[in-house]
Amino acid sequence: MYIGYLNYVIVICWVTGGLILLTDVKAYQNASLKKEKSVSKFLGWANISIGFGIMAADFIYKRFMW
C-alpha cells in the first residue's frame, strides 16, 4: 500500500500561490509598490505552476513508469 504526501504538497502549492495572488498583490498595488507587486505576481503564478508540474510528473510516473 502506497501512502504518499505528494497530494498535500500539490494542494499547498496551489493554496499558497492563490493566497499570494489574492493578498500580497492587492496590498502592493494599494501601496503603489510596482516591483514588489510584479515579484509577488511571479511568485504566486510560479507556485501554482509548480503544483501543476508536480501533478503532471506524478501522473506520468504512475501511468508510464510504475
Across the chain, which has 66 residues, the per-10-residue mean pLDDT values are 82 97 95 96 98 94 85
For residue 42, tell me if it sits in a domain: yes
For residue 14, tell me if it sits in a domain: yes
Query: What pTM, to 2 d.p., does this model score?
Result: 0.86
For residue 66, tell me if it sits in a domain: no
Compute how many other C-beta atoms are within 10 angstroms of the C-beta atom of residue 34. Answer: 10
Distances (CA, A) of 25 to 10, 30, 45, 52: 22, 9, 11, 21
Q: What is the pLDDT of residue 2?
A: 65
For residue 27, tell me if it sits in a domain: yes
For residue 1, tell me if it sits in a domain: no
d(CA 40, CA 53): 19
Q: What is the pLDDT of residue 4?
A: 83
Domain containing 10: what range? 6-61
If one counts the domains in the chain, the total is: 1
